[in-house]
Amino acid sequence: MSTKIDTSKMELKEKVVSVKRVTKVVKGGRNFRFAVVVVVGNHDGCVGVGTGKSIEIPDAIKKAIEDAKKHMIYVPRNEDGSIYHQNTGKAVSSEVLIKPAPEGTGVIAGGTARAVLELAGIKNIRSKSLGSNNKRNVVSATIEALKTLKKPEDVARARGKKLSEIIG
């Protein structure tokens, strides 16, 4: 799924997930910069994650937002505002398990995974973060789990069956 999403006409919201001060030690002393992770989404199925690094925090956030807009994905959702099936995403040593939930459940997720799920427009979902709780890796694992979701129609077409045979 490598379709490019046009973000120019979208009303995008952004959320800063983490701001870290990083240091590079050089001959003359230490150089300090800020590394930022930002999640961008339109609450209607499109979400992206980006990173930026700069001497000033606002510049780092601006870079991260531009990076996130370049890496947008589309998330298929059902009529309940949930996902179609359970899925797991893995990034480095972090793993995120996402499960569909019935209407009225809300977003049950940790802070970093919650940012991605809410900005993707998912209203009812259960999520569990497994392994490392590094914010960048949890966000990447959540995106990976959402990226590999499939609609029942796509599964039926790929298997050469009718939709009623897949759903049951």
- Domains of the chain by residue range: 13-73, 75-157
- Tell me if 13-73 shares its fold with 75-157: no
Span 123-142, pLDDT tens digits: 999 999 999 999 999 999 99
Span 8-23, pLDDT tens digits: 677 899 999 999 999 9
**What pLDDT, on a 0 to 100 scale, did the predictor assign at position 167?**
79
Say how far apart CA 142 and CA 15 lie, in whole Å.
15
Neighbours of 168 (CB within 10 A): 4
Q: Does domain 75-157 correspond to CATH entry 3.20.20.220?
A: no
- Does residue 2 carry a pLDDT above 70? no
**What pLDDT, on a 0 to 100 scale, did the predictor assign at position 10?**
76
**What pLDDT, on a 0 to 100 scale, did the predictor assign at position 3?**
60
- Strands of 11-164 (E only): list them: 13-26, 29-41, 46-54, 72-74, 87-91, 94-100, 107-108, 125-131
Say how far apart CA 143 and CA 39 lie, in whole Å.
10
Predicted confidence band of residue 1 (pLDDT cuts 50, 70, 90): very low
| Domain 13-73, CATH | 3.30.160.20
Sign of CA dihedral 76, 80, 85, 90: positive
Query: What is this structure's pTM?
Result: 0.89
Span 107-117, pLDDT tens digits: 999 989 999 99
Q: pLDDT averaged over the chain?
A: 91
**What pLDDT, on a 0 to 100 scale, did the predictor assign at position 16?**
96
